[in-house]
Amino acid sequence: MRHWQRLKWRSSSFKIMDEIFSTILNETFTLTQLKLRLRILKSHLLNTFFGSDSPAEPLNQLDLDWQSSLPKTFYQHFNKDNVYDIFKDLESSLNQLQVLTIYLVFEVNDQISKELGTVARKTFNKPSLLLDIKYDSRLIAGCSLVWKGVYHDYSLISKIEGKKAEILQSFKKFLR
Partner 1 sequence: MPELPNPTILITGAAAVVAILLYFHEYYLRRKDSLDQRKISQETKQKAAQLINAAEEAESELLSKGNWATQKLAEEFESRLEGLIQTSQNSISVSQDQLIKFMKDLQKRSADFEEASRSSTEAKINQIFERLESKLSDFLIQTEQKTTSSIELELKSTRQLIETYKNQQLKLIDENIIAMMEQTLTLVLAKKLSLKDQLDLVYEALAKAKVEKFIV
- Residues at the site binding partner 1, with contacts judged by CB under 8 A: 100, 102, 104-106, 112, 115-116, 119-120, 123-124, 126, 137-138, 140-143, 145, 147, 150, 152, 154-157, 160, 164, 167-168, 171
Task: Assess contact for 88 and 118: CB atoms under 8 A.
Answer: no
Find the shortest distance in angstroms from Cβ 25 to partner 1: 17
Q: Round to whole Å and give the CA distance between 158 and 66.
A: 38
Nearer to partner 1, 10 or 152 (CB): 152
Of 84 and 147, CB closest to partner 1: 147
Query: Shortest gap between Cβ of 103 and partner 1 (angstroms)?
Result: 10
Nearer to partner 1, 89 or 153 (CB): 153
Residue number with CB closer to partner 1 (3 or 173): 173
Q: How far is the CB of 38 from partner 1 (least distance, A)?
A: 24
Q: How far is the CB of 88 from partner 1 (least distance, A)?
A: 30
For the bound state, the minimum distance from the C-beta of residue 127 to partner 1, rounded and expressed in Å, comes to 14
Distance CA 176, CA 162 (A): 23
- Three-state secondary structure readout of the chain: CHHHHHHHHHHHHHHHHHHHHHHHHHCCCEHHHHHHHHHHHHHHHHHHHHCCCCCCCCCCHHHHHHHHHCCHHHHCCCCCCCHHHHHHHHHHHHHHCCEEEEEECCCCCHHHHHHHHHHHHHHHCCCCCEEEEEECHHHCCCCEEEECCEEEECCHHHHHHHCHHHHHHHHHHHHC
Between residues 84 and 171, which has the closer beta carbon with respect to partner 1? 171
